[in-house]
Amino acid sequence: MTDTSADLVILGGGSGGYAAAFRAAELGLSVTLIEKDKLGGTCLHRGCIPTKALLHAAEVADSARDSEQFGVKTTFDGVDIAGVNKYKESIVSRLYKGLQGLAKAHKVNLVEGTGTFVGGTTVEVDGQRHTGKNLLLATGSYAKSLPGLELGGRIITSDDALTLDYIPEKVVVLGGGVIGVEFASVWASFGVDVTIVEALPRLVPNEDEFASKQLERAFRRRKINFKTGVRFTGAKQDDNGVTVSLESGETFEADLLLVAVGRGPNTAGHGYEEAGLAMDRGFVPTDERLRTNLPNVYAVGDIVPGLQLAHRGFQQGIFVAEEIAGLDPRPIDEAGIPRVTYSHPEVASVGLSEDAAKEKYGSGVQTFTYDLGGNGKSQILKTSGAVKLVKAPDGPVVGLHLVGDRVGELIGEAQLIYNWEAFPEDVAPLIHAHPTQTEALGEAHLALAGKPLHVHS
């Protein structure tokens, strides 16, 4: 077996790995991409894409069930989970085939197998060594559990939840972050009795407090139960169900316990520490140019401390390819990466929360909240929510936070506003088509610029 060499060797074929591979190939570099499972990684096969397919199916179920509020009579006969799974898998399959075609078109040397970092810039797969002038580590993440909580049976992760072939009657969701609230939202739309347990004081605790309150209000209306500020103490399961215990003394009976306490860096067993790579609680620290402590070794995606988002890894992969090619790309501003929780309603944000802005800029931070009750398209969609802006003292808008159905589609404009360091006066003159939900962004900036039209100043 002949060892190989390339300009860039990449360990991991998820969003960060394949983006780096394709961009590097475009720039004329030779690339070897090593992946033990399927090209596309967590996002395509076990994360973003399949969960959003489930969420769209859930939206269709809600539309059918609630159609009379729009004057349309339909009959809702239930959810065919086999049909939902077929729909979900068809999307994943089509995108996977597209990625495989792109890998061939870019002439990327795709190596299937488990890679071990053996030092320098070399990765070994099944006895064969692949050495690059540069090495990129992009091994992704896995669904975490809690110490002492054994997974299996009726205690499942999000990976397991995506492959369920039945709809449970009652579920307890452990964790009120993005993954937890998205699955809770799906199951509630499918008619499941859902209870979320979150140890921190509010749902989606990494978002602005305003967004948490908006989501919690919406979940109460949807009869999604949640317990915040209380710790989980244990779970017992038998053939009939699972009993979940909380520190408060409360217990909940359910068919399933979904453990949604976040994702851990997939770095164990790859030879990282043995090769001398600096580690921090399983993560791989990098500088702003995504360099590790080892020469010509880079890291991207979920193994790098920070937001665990597919589009972050994707952009980081492009950055590393351009860095290696000598293009001197601009470092990525982590706060400028948009974040979306695709529950019903959606939560979307970019930039700083109000608290983070006050910590950075002091008490002179200004905020403005525009209620979607004043937005025509939101009323047509029968969604409630709001847009909140956070502005630095005598400075630009540094945070944008949105809650409401479909607001994830507005985050593109929001991230341009943040990343261009726009002042309210820069955005206020821009014309937003009527009737669209983007008008809510326009109205909020008009108000902060001192020209409130559809709101009381």
Point out the annotated binding site for NAD(+).
Answer: 175-182, 198, 262
CB 55 within 8 A of CB 182: yes
β 31-35/115-119 pair status: unpaired
Residue corresponding to tokens 């033990």: 36
Task: Indicate which residues carry an active-site annotation.
Answer: 434
Which of 382, 377, 365, 447 is CA-nearest to residue 410? 377
Which of 287, 321, 256 is CA-nearest to residue 17? 321
For 8, list phi and psi in degrees, rounded to 5.
Answer: -140, 125
Cβ burial, residue 404 (10 Å; 0-12/13-18/19+): buried
- Dist CA 385 CA 210 (whole Å): 10
Any bridge partners for residue 400, and if so which? 350, 389
Known binding-site positions? 52, 115, 139-141, 175-182, 198, 262, 302
- Dist CA 152 CA 172 (whole Å): 15
At 17, list the tokens: 């790995």
Known binding-site positions for FAD? 52, 115, 139-141, 302
Measured in whole angstroms, the distance separating CA 292 from the mean position of its chain's CA atoms is: 24
CB 70 within 8 A of CB 381: no
